[in-house]
């Protein structure tokens, strides 16, 4: 018996060693979670983990970030000339490196763009990759440090928050340099802060963002060698579909397809969040006015009050600070929860920065009187999508009291011209995709 135990131990040790040495850090971390019963092995996820392992290995060829400063004295004529010269030299350097493969650190790593339905593991795998890019403490196999690590700076951010940050930087730059070009300076700042950028929920719904992205990403990738990883519910060709002046955005899509490895998980229809769905109802509906005196509405109100807590009527209104010196008013709240009418959050001119600030303040948000989101509520639907996105990223619980069942929340749009159909289809798909994040199973 003792001999058999020793033999099993001798066989097991090489097997563990082989796994540590033969797989990359992302696959190794994924397999540990599978063995721990935290996830079930999925072929698409295994393939994506291997792709991330390859990118992790290629990060060793990433050239160091230049240290030249484009922000000092940028309002003077001499500095403007230096700025133009620096950009020209950087562009020329980038051209010759690409043309003649003159990368002293090897070819620049390609970014990864992953698209597919919600709940298939896109963000989960990207987070495993992000965690693997770190400075090693020792050479122990147990900590996956037998894999080659790279000392590079990194940033993982929700795409809404990233664009808010970019707009804030543009605003701050323009305050000091009203006639200056902010984008090259911001690209430099971002590159010197993080050589690896990981975006969750990459999507474009705003014309201002669409116009910024092409120049900003071109500079980040071509001139500053920033590696970008992004997850999205949409393929590159579906980005900003039906948007205003989309033709001006198409070069960005072409650049995305030229410089990124595009990975589709569209065939992965299994929503793994359903297996770990949290207890507690978060969606209520009644086709009666919520003030109506009937048993259904009374029951819904009672459940909302229970979720809200016992301090509902005792807490004073609060102003939540938002970027650019703005505030969002919350009339009904307690320490853990804010209660809104749909009109307060989606009829008002609010955006991602407002919703992100609310989610940072409150673990739970209740919103009642949610109508069916049809062609009569296009702007409201866009805001609703942004709110859900913010709740999902911050893990804020969103509780809805609506006027229709969940599977009817996204209404059908009437027939318009071809262009109008495209513009009406975008928010409908966005609402459907984003709603599935918070309420799996629809």
Domains of the chain, with CATH numbers?
Answer: 13-264 (3.40.50.300), 277-438 (no CATH)
pLDDT in tens, 370-412: 998 887 888 888 888 889 888 887 888 999 999 888 888 876 5
Q: How far is CA 149 from CA 123, 139, 233, 415, in A?
A: 21, 10, 30, 55
Please say whether the beta carbons of 256 and 236 come within 8 A: yes
HSE of 400, CA atoms in CB hemisphere, 13 A: 21
For residue 238, give the nearest of 249, 223, 228, 224 by alpha carbon: 249
Residues 200/393, Cβ–Cβ less than 8 Å: yes
Q: Dig out the tokens for 269 from the structure.
A: 């229809």
How far is the C-alpha of 51 from the C-alpha of 72, rounded, in Å? 40
Residues 6+ apart with CB under 8 A from 244: 207
- CA 259/CA 218 separation, integer angstroms: 10
Q: Which residues of the chain have pLDDT under 50?
A: 1-3, 5-21, 73-79, 97-104, 135-147, 276-279, 290, 311-313, 413-427, 442
Quick check: 42 and 267 in contact, CB under 8 A?
no
pLDDT given for residue 256 in this prediction: 95
pLDDT of residue 353: 87
Instruction: Mention every residue, 6+ apart, whose C-beta is less than 8 A from residue 245.
Output: 207, 210
For residue 84, what pLDDT is reported? Answer: 56
Contact between residue 184 and residue 80 where contact means Cβ atoms under 8 Å apart = no
Contacts of 316 (CB under 8 A, 6+ apart): none
* pLDDT score recorded for residue 155: 95
């Amino acid at each position: 018996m003792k001999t058999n135990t020793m033999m099993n131990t001798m066989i097991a040790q090489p097997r563990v060693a082989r796994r540590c040495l033969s797989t990359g850090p992302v696959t190794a971390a994924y397999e540990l979670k599978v063995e721990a019963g935290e996830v079930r092995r999925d072929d698409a996820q295994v393939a994506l983990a291997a792709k991330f392992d390859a990118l992790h290995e290629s990060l060793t060829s990433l050239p160091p970030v230049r240290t030249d400063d484009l922000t000092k004295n940028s309002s003077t004529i001499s500095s403007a000339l230096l700025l133009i010269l620096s950009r020209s030299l950087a562009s020329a350097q980038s051209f010759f490196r690409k043309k003649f493969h003159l990368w002293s650190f090897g070819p620049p790593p390609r970014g990864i763009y992953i698209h597919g339905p919600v709940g298939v593991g896109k963000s989960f795998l990207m987070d495993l990759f992000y965690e693997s890019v770190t400075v090693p403490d020792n050479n122990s196999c147990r900590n996956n440090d037998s894999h080659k690590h790279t000392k590079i700076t990194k940033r993982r951010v929700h795409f809404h928050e990233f664009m808010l940050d970019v707009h804030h930087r543009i605003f701050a730059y323009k305050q000091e340099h009203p006639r200056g070009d902010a984008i090259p300076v911001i690209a430099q700042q971002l590159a010197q802060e993080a050589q690896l950028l990981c975006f969750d929920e990459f999507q474009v719904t705003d014309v201002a963002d669409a116009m910024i992205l092409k120049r900003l990403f071109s500079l980040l990738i071509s001139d500053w060698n920033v590696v970008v990883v992004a997850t999205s519910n949409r393929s590159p060709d579906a980005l900003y579909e039906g948007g205003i002046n989309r033709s001006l955005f198409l070069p960005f899509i072409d650049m995305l397809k030229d410089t990124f490895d595009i990975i589709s998980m569209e065939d992965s229809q299994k929503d793994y969040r359903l297996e770990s769905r949290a207890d507690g109802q978060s969606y209520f509906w009644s086709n009666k006015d919520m003030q109506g005196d009937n048993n259904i509405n009374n029951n819904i109100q009672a459940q909302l009050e229970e979720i809200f807590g016992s301090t509902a009527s005792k807490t004073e209104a609060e102003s939540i600070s938002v970027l650019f010196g703005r505030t969002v008013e919350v009339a009904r709240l307690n320490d853990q929860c804010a209660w809104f009418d749909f009109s307060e959050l989606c009829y008002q001119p609010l955006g991602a920065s407002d919703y992100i600030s609310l989610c940072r303040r409150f673990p739970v948000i209740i919103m009642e009187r949610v109508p069916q989101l049809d062609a009569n509520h296009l702007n409201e639907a866009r805001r609703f999508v942004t709110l859900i996105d913010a709740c999902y990223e911050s893990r804020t619980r969103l509780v809805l009291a609506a006027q229709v069942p969940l599977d009817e929340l996204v209404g059908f749009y009437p027939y318009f011209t071809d262009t109008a159909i495209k513009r009406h289809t975008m928010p409908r798909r966005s609402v459907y995709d984003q709603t599935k994040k918070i309420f799996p199973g629809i």
